[in-house]
Structure 1
Amino acid sequence: MKYLDRVESAFSIILFLFGIAISLYSVFMRYVLGSSQSWATEIYTMLLVWAIFIGFSSALKEDKHIAIDVLYDRFGPKMQQFSQIVTLLIGSAFSIFIFWTGLDMVTTAYSQDIKTIDVGFPIWINYLIMPIAGTLLFIRFCEKAYRYFIKKENVTGGGDAEWKQL
């Protein structure tokens, strides 16, 4: 998982920085030199979308997503446990939905040979981020579920943790 963390962070940062650089280049060309670069909008939009979708997984890993702590903190231990399990299930289902929907978008765009307007870039490559993001999110939800149940099991004293200590 450490390798995945590094790859996610590196890709997200690189894509984001290149997207911002192309955006700044486009603004400079348009407002300083008076020469509009229509291709730049397509490229930096794609780069920023990719960076954001990869960032979803990193945010989930670090618990940076929006949460309603006001309600959760008022729940008792049983309700918090139930809430956590429901969140993991819904998140996993959502990840699978993003994967399958994205895969359908990719195959449709690929079979129809759709290209972007200004650059002529195959649009299926833009859509490829959907199944990638769905896979990354699913991996993170599985990781969170594993840590939640293993940690809970070790805290309550059940499972293999006791046997390994003997």
Structure 2
Amino acid sequence: MRVLGLIDRGLSRLVSWVAQAMLWSAVAAGFYQVLARFILQSPSAWSEAWTRAAIIWAVMLGVSLAFRQGAMLGVDLLHNLLAPRRARLLEHLVLLIVVGFLGFLIWIGIDMTWRVRFQSTPSLGISISWIYLSIPVGATLSLFGALSYWAEDSRVPYVETV
């Protein structure tokens, strides 16, 4: 278990760094686009496409971090109204729904990435499949994050109070 915890922390840290780098690069490209358009009077062709792609990647990676923290798994109102054992059942039901949805996203994301592999972005000159790849990668990381959070949380049983 200790090794899995180290892998989980290392992977979360890596994903966080990459997501932050993508977000910073999107900000820098967007800033450059504004400078090029309004100051230099020569709009950049690549910066808008890069900003969009980097934000997509940052969001998909960031969602996986949210799942790892349990931020996307809450049904707080209903959870707070239920007795502890039923609240635990609700958590398991929510996890099953989340796992099903993320599995669907992985499947659709892989299919879409494969379908667009021969299309390229005119301004960046790369295959658009690199952008679509964010869907199955983010969904897979989110799936691992949700399962890790659930496995970590399931070791702490609820104690019913009288």
Q: Which ranges of structure 1 fall in alignment gaps of 5 or more residues?
A: 157-166
Tell me which amino acid in the other structure corresponds to 1:42. Answer: A
* Conserved 8 A contact 2:73-2:95: no
The whole-number CA distance in structure 1 between the counterparts of 2:123 and 2:138 is 26
**1:44 match:** 51
The whole-number CA distance in structure 1 between the counterparts of 2:71 and 2:27 is 22
The whole-number CA distance in structure 2 between the counterparts of 1:88 and 1:66 is 7
Tell me which amino acid in the other structure corresponds to 2:157. Answer: K
Tell me which amino acid in the other structure corresponds to 2:99. Answer: S
Q: Is the alpha carbon distance of 1:63 and 1:145 closer, same or farther for their aligned partners in structure 2, counting shifts above 3 Å?
A: closer
**1:148 match:** 153
The whole-number CA distance in structure 1 between the counterparts of 2:156 and 2:73 is 23
Q: Which ranges of structure 2 fall in alignment gaps of 5 or more residues?
A: 1-7
Task: Quote how far apart the aligned CAs of 1:49 are.
Answer: 0.7
Tell me which amino acid in the other structure corresponds to 1:150. Answer: R
**1:164 match:** none
Match of 2:87 among 80, 83, 93: 80
Within a 5 Å distance, the mapping from 1:94-113 to structure 2 comes to 94-110=101-117, 113=118
Task: Quote how far apart the aligned CAs of 1:46 are.
Answer: 0.3
Q: Which has the larger radius of gyration?
A: 1
Query: Considering only aligned residues, what root-mean-square deviation do their CA atoms show, in Å?
Result: 1.9
The whole-number CA distance in structure 2 between the counterparts of 1:65 and 1:134 is 13
The whole-number CA distance in structure 2 between the counterparts of 1:27 and 1:68 is 41
Larger relative contact order (Cα-Cα within 8 Å, sequence gap ≥ 6): 2
Tell me which amino acid in the other structure corresponds to 2:130. Answer: I
TM-score (norm 2): 0.86
The reply to whether residue 9 of structure 1 matches residue 16 of structure 2 is: yes
**1:162 match:** none
TM-score (norm 1): 0.84
Q: Number of paired residues? A: 153
Give a deviation string over 1:53-97, Cα, whole Å, max 9, x none: 000011122233384423321222233112101111111111111
Match of 1:128 among 125, 133, 138: 133
